[in-house]
Amino acid sequence: MSFPTIHNITFDCTGDPYDVGLFWSRVFGRPLADDDKPGDPEAVLRDPDGGPTLLFVRVPEGRSVKNRLHLDLRPHGRTRDEEVERVVSLGARVVADHRRPDGSGWVLMADPESNEFCVERGELG
């Protein structure tokens, strides 16, 4: 028996998909597809290791409720606090801070299109 794999994780965008894709390109340190240009109806961020593609697609309607699905990021080579600072410098914003005094917890963030994601604690804290 064979089972499906996740091919794309799709982000709806009311703005330019290229701009949102560029934000995530900087977050993950991977380039957008060579043929992606500003103003295109979609943009693609591929995983060189074969994981799911992040696909950014222009849609006419804005988001009206909380995301039902989001990414949880675990930093490598930096602390959670350093990663939060880094993605804020790239254009993200903090939505809610769930860090606890014992070092556990996470930070709920939003990308420039208000798609939510979390930054969890990594191996460095």
Residue 109: phi and psi, rounded to 5, are: -130, 170
Q: What are phi and psi of 56, to 5 degrees?
A: -115, 120
- 114-124, pLDDT tens digit by residue? 999 999 998 88
Beta strand 53-58 with 8-13 is parallel
CB atoms within 10 A of CB 16: 19
Of the pLDDT bands very low, low, confident and very high (cuts 50, 70, 90), residue 99 is very high
Q: Is 33's pLDDT higher than 90?
A: yes
Whole-number average pLDDT of the chain: 93
Alpha helices in the chain (DSSP H): 17-28, 80-89
pTM above 0.85, yes or no: yes
C-alpha atoms less than 13 angstroms from C-alpha of 88 in its C-beta half-sphere? 13
Q: Which residue has the higher pLDDT, 90 or 1?
A: 90
